[in-house]
Amino acid sequence: MGKIDEPEQNEAIEAEHVDDFNEKLAYVTARAAEEGRIPAYLANELKNKITLDTFIASIIKMHDMYFDEEEDYFSLDEIDHVTIGTGYSKDIVELAMWFEECYSMSMDHISTSFDCPECGCDTMYIKELSGELFAHELECAQCRKKYSFELVFSDVDFDDFDDDDDDDFDDFDFDDDDDDFVDGFFVSRRRETEDSYIFNVSHGRGVWRKIQISKGDTLDDLSEAILRAYDFDNDHIYAFYMDAKGRTRNVPVFYPPRCLERQNAAEQVLEDLGLIKGSKFLFLYDFGDQWRFNVKLESEINEETPFGHTIKSQGEGPKQYDLDEDDDEDWDFD
Ligand SMILES: [Zn+2]
């Protein structure tokens, strides 16, 4: 199949884009049917008491509810919310939600800078492999062949690269917005300013960190400050969803520079974002574990700061790696 990145075609599709439940249901159900684990779960665990589409519909509805709740509800992990709400096994819920994510991504027409070596399709889904640091899987939207990040990078030519000699890095034009960024090689749009923002970054009731950061820093810098404030590692993909209600669909989203061709957080200088006191947005970290942080601009001050840092904190932050699974069970809602 040919590329689908002609601008006029994409615009037409975008204009027609509606978050249609039935369309999503049909897509996710079809994918779930292909995936042996889900029909097997229905047959073995649920004794075929419900049909596949009813099963998938209940997961999607529960997932949609998550976003309709007040923001305090974000203290509960998205996958946990659906697992607890439906009573289905967590790994099956996670799998169904990954298909739902694939649906959303295909509706938003996220393209990569490389084509699928198998079929030439230029829409690839990026998924983190659970428990593996730095390992990401790409899945072709069309033929659904899976690739590891490493395989894709070594096998694919970057057309936009001026690679007339071996040293791509020297030829890389940092001033050209059209150039692709390769993992590890990117430029930040950070600039010097004498003013700072104070953000309140909360994770559920009574748990927050106040972070001071230069207005000239970028969203990517803010991501580092948030992760430091909560003692999290910095090994996973994140996304900033620029929406006060914490919605993740049809809102501007910024990703780490290594997510090629997506809107790059390192190019988004904070003071250019049009934030005003009280502006809110969502920081989601690790697409596997789905840590959610609500970010709110609390104030602006005329004070220089070399890097984003925590100035005040309250409440114990979540543990990124909970090694004792039994602890999880204890705070289930018995
Ligand atoms: Zn393909």
124 C-alpha to center of ligand 1: Å?
Answer: 8
* Choice between 258 and 242, residue whose per-residue pLDDT is larger: 242
Supply 32's token pair.
């779930």
* Choice between 158 and 277, residue whose per-residue pLDDT is larger: 277
243 C-alpha to center of ligand 1: Å?
Answer: 33
139 C-alpha to center of ligand 1: Å?
Answer: 8
* Least confident segment among 60-74, 160-174, 252-266: 160-174
Instruction: Give the pLDDT confidence score for residue 282 in this predicted structure.
Output: 92
* Least confident segment among 179-183, 186-190, 243-247, 309-313: 179-183
In degrees and rounded to multiples of 5, residue 256 shows phi and psi of -60, 155
Instruction: Give the pLDDT confidence score for residue 210 in this predicted structure.
Output: 95
Res 301 pLDDT > 90: yes
Instruction: Give the pLDDT confidence score for residue 181 in this predicted structure.
Output: 37
Question: Which ranges of the chain would DSSP assign to H, the alpha helix?
Answer: 7-16, 21-34, 37-44, 52-68, 78-86, 90-107, 149-155, 168-171, 219-229, 325-330
Give residue 125's pLDDT band: very low, low, confident or very high (50, 70, 90). Answer: confident
- Given a contact cutoff of 8 angstroms between Cβ atoms, the answer to whether 229 and 203 are in contact is no
Supply 28's token pair.
């996710």
220 SS3 class: helix
In degrees and rounded to multiples of 5, residue 316 shows phi and psi of -80, 130
* Choice between 4 and 297, residue whose per-residue pLDDT is larger: 297
CB atoms within 10 A of CB 133: 9
118 C-alpha to center of ligand 1: Å?
Answer: 5
Give residue 115's pLDDT band: very low, low, confident or very high (50, 70, 90). Answer: confident
Res 158 pLDDT > 60: no
Question: Which ranges of 174-249 would DSSP assign to H, the alpha helix?
Answer: 219-229
* Choice between 292 and 147, residue whose per-residue pLDDT is larger: 292
Supply 308's token pair.
């984003």
Most confident of 107-121, 249-263, 275-289: 275-289
- Residues with Cβ–ion distance below 5 A, ligand 1: 116, 118-119, 121, 140, 142-143
1 C-alpha to center of ligand 1: Å?
Answer: 9
pLDDT in tens, 229-241: 999 988 888 999 9
Residue type, 117: P
Res 176 pLDDT > 70: no
Supply 316's token pair.
């114990």
* Least confident segment among 94-98, 145-149, 212-216, 330-334: 330-334
**pLDDT (average), residues 207-224:** 94
- CA-to-CA distance for 286 and 271, rounded, in angstroms? 26
The strand pairing partners of 241, in sequence order, are: 253, 282
102 C-alpha to center of ligand 1: Å?
Answer: 14
Res 160 pLDDT > 50: no
Instruction: Give the pLDDT confidence score for residue 225 in this predicted structure.
Output: 95
Give residue 331's pLDDT band: very low, low, confident or very high (50, 70, 90). Answer: very low
110 C-alpha to center of ligand 1: Å?
Answer: 14
332 C-alpha to center of ligand 1: Å?
Answer: 41
125 C-alpha to center of ligand 1: Å?
Answer: 11
DSSP 69: S
Question: In the chain, pLDDT over 90 holds for what percent of residues?
Answer: 34
In degrees and rounded to multiples of 5, residue 330 shows phi and psi of -60, -35
The strand pairing partners of 292, in sequence order, are: 284
275 C-alpha to center of ligand 1: Å?
Answer: 40
* Choice between 163 and 105, residue whose per-residue pLDDT is larger: 105
Instruction: Give the pLDDT confidence score for residue 187 in this predicted structure.
Output: 61
Instruction: Give the pLDDT confidence score for residue 12 in this predicted structure.
Output: 42
pLDDT in tens, 56-111: 999 999 988 877 665 454 556 778 889 988 999 999 998 999 898 888 777 665 55
Instruction: Give the pLDDT confidence score for residue 79 in this predicted structure.
Output: 84
5 C-alpha to center of ligand 1: Å?
Answer: 15
Res 295 pLDDT > 70: yes
4 C-alpha to center of ligand 1: Å?
Answer: 13
26 C-alpha to center of ligand 1: Å?
Answer: 21
**pLDDT (average), residues 136-152:** 70
In degrees and rounded to multiples of 5, residue 177 shows phi and psi of -60, -20
* Choice between 80 and 187, residue whose per-residue pLDDT is larger: 80
